[in-house]
Structures are given as structure tokens and as C-alpha cells.
Amino acid sequence: MTIRSAIVLAGGEGMRLRPLTRHRPKPMLPAGTKPILEHVFDQLIDAGITDLTVVVGYGRTAVQSHFGPSYRDVPIEYVVQETQLGSAHALAAATSTIDETTLVVNGDQLVDSDIIGETMKCHDSTVGATLGVISYADVTDYGGVLVDDGTVTEIVENPTDGREYRLNAGVYALEPDAVEIMTGIEPEAGEFSLVDGLSTLLEDGIPIAAAATDGMWIDATFPWDLLEVAETLFESTTVESHVADAARVHDTATVIEPVLIAPDCVVGPGAVVGPYTCLGENVTVGANAVVEHSVIDSDTRIGANATVIDCVTGRGVGIGPDSTVVGGPGDVHVGETIHRNEALGALIADRAVDEGGVTYAPGTIIGSEVSIRAGTTVDGSIDSNTEVR
């Protein structure tokens, strides 16, 4: 079926990605060297979408200022979700834009155009919805879908009962009548969920088709997942190793592919960058520094002789000369939970700086605008706007 319009749900914060999301929403975090949401737009447009409606909420100015009124000559209409009360609530904010079959996708997860295209192809007006599903080793942290002969029979969040679930890829082709039903449900625990809406369709006897593919899907739930996102993009050939023409790499520096080095980056003499490393715009890597398996966001400075392994940074970070992010695995504190042996050397949020000679223990999380004195060893979680001596 030909579907030309898509609604992208991009209003969420991503609390488990704090402190990276302190100043911007999860869809604007880097997947490689560009925002997750930009990858989503690319895949939608590559699949034939010609009209985009984006539901924004938390950090909406970051989305609107980055993309403006259009992307790749496709017009963008923005709808504001004033309070974030779940995915169905976000869809409800955009119902006035729906007068035909519409695609709905999550703006904070990466899916490729194969999943999107197959979902559109499989949909027809005899069903209320078509849901993109993929095979996935462990769906317990996500949405599970039971499928029988191409038809969805049950949708379960975080299933643990051992049945043969497919993963809900967060790509939905919806009929206008189905949208009306899904957005009219009573909230559970104060939130309106798309999954609850889809379950209501099934309870009302409205069929939901399943479009099964082997396409790429990846979600960044925690900070270290951004490293896996970049690695997956490289390995799936969704992005190719590339050094921008406007980047300056010294003749004596070593670049080990795969890497993405954005415009206006400077890689100094004797430095080693890569493999599996992404440098955002205007990043500087000092002389003899080593940056490996890391996602370094824009305007970051890495000093001479520094070593940075398994690291995720925000924007405008300063890693001083001779500082060392030794790399993972490490135990990472996220909220009240400790995640054991995660492959994270350090997360260093926006505009945090160190004076040099600092050692970051595996799993360290540094909040935004933290200042770290020279020669310090840091570990655990450091709150934003803190001075570490």
C-alpha cells in the first residue's frame, strides 16, 4: 500500500540516558555523528515518505532549531505534546493531521528502510493496523508480539513467559478509525501507551497484521548503548567509514577504520583515532592522543597524550592533556540501579572539563558542567555543576 505521510514521536526525554539528556531530548543524541532523529528521517524518506509530522515535547527547541521547516526537501509540521504522558498521548496530539492511512514511528530508535517499507507494503485497509516486527534474541526489555500466520494475536510489554515473541520494532501503519480508538483509551498509571491502544484494537476484534523482516533495529536505552549504536551502524553499512573533506588530519596521525570524522575536526600529530570511533563537528584530538571505540560529540577537546577508550561525551567537553579514560567494563550507576560489567569507560556530559592528568575509572559518569582539578582520579557518578578536587 502507498503511504506518504508519517508521524514521528520525538517528545520524550530519555531519563536513563541522563545526564546526556539534561539539555536535549533523546532523539537528538548522536548516532554516529548525527542525531538519532536524523537517521529516522533519512530512513522514512528513503522508504518513500513525503510528509513528516513530528510530535515534540521535552527539549523541543533542540529539534526545531536543528531541522527547521523541512528536511531533504520534505516539509515538517511540528505538533507540541505539552506534557509527556506516553506514546498514545503523543499520537493524540497529532490526530488533527490524520485523514488517511499514516505511518507512526518512534523518533528515538533506529530502524532501517526495510522495516518501514515492508510495514507499508503489507498494510491494507482490511486491518486497523500493521505492526513491523523482527526476530530478536531477548525481548524482555522491550515489547513482545505473538504472531500467527501474519496476524498479531497478542502484544506484551517486557514479556518473561518464554513464548516465541517477535520484537515490536515501533513502526505502525494505522487507519484513521484505529487511531481514534487507540487515542481514546483510559490511561494506565497516568500514561497512554500505544501498546495499550493496540491491545484495545485486538479486544474490539479489529485485526492487526504483522510485517516480519530482518531489518536493522537498535535502541539506545542507557549511555553505553550509544557505543553499540555506532558499532551497529558501521557493521550494517548504514553508515560508511568517512573522514570529512573539511577535517584536518595530520600526516603523522593514524586513523584506523571504521571511523566517522566530521567537518572541522582536527587530529594532531602522532594521534591515533579508531577503530569504531565517531568525532562530531569541530572536535580536536591533541598530539599523540589515542581515541578508540568512542562517540565524541561536537566541540570537544581532547588534550595531548590523552587516552580515551569506550567513552561517550556530550558537547563542549574538555579532556585535558595526559588524562586517561581507561575503558570498560565497569559498574555503572543509573538512578538507583547499578549495572554490572558494562562496556563503558566513561560518560562525560556537556561542557564538563578536566585540567589534565585525570584518570577516569571504568563506568564513571560525569554530569554536565563539572570541573575536575588536575591529577584527580574520578569514579562513580559525579553530579552536574560540581567541582572535583
Beta-carbon contacts of 62 under 8 Å, excluding residues fewer than 6 positions away, are 23, 24, 25, 28
On whether residue 232 sits in a domain, the answer given is no
Residues 285, 353: one domain?
Answer: yes
How many Cβ atoms sit within 10 Å of the Cβ of residue 222?
18
Residue 346, pLDDT score: 96
Query: Do 184 and 257 belong together in one domain?
Result: no
Residue with the bigger pLDDT between 337 and 252: it is 252
Q: Measured between alpha carbons, how far is 93 from 306 in angstroms, rounded to an integer?
A: 48
Contact residues for 330 (Cβ-Cβ < 8 A; gap 6+)? 341, 342, 344, 345, 361, 362, 363, 364
Residues constituting the chain: 389
**Pair 256, 193 in one domain:** no
Confidence of residue 105 (pLDDT cuts 50, 70, 90): very high
pLDDT band at 190 (very low <50, low <70, confident <90, very high): low
Rg from Cα positions in the chain: 22
Residue 107 included in any domain:
yes
pLDDT single digits (tens) 206-218: 999 999 988 888 8
* CATH number of the domain encompassing residue 82: 3.90.550.10
pLDDT of 360 reads: 97
Q: Residue 310 is part of which domain span? A: 241-388
pLDDT for position 96 = 79
Read off φ and ψ for residue 145, nearest 5 degrees: -130, 130
What CATH number does the domain containing 251 carry?
Answer: 2.160.10.10
36-46: per-residue pLDDT in tens? Answer: 999 999 999 99
Please say which residue of 219, 252, 281 terminates a domain. 219
pLDDT average, residue stretch 112-119: 91
The rounded distance, in Å, linking the Cα atoms of 382 and 389 is 12
* Strand ranges (E), 196-306: 208-213, 217-219, 242-243, 248-249, 254-255, 259-261, 266-267, 272-273, 277-279, 284-285, 290-292, 295-296, 301-302
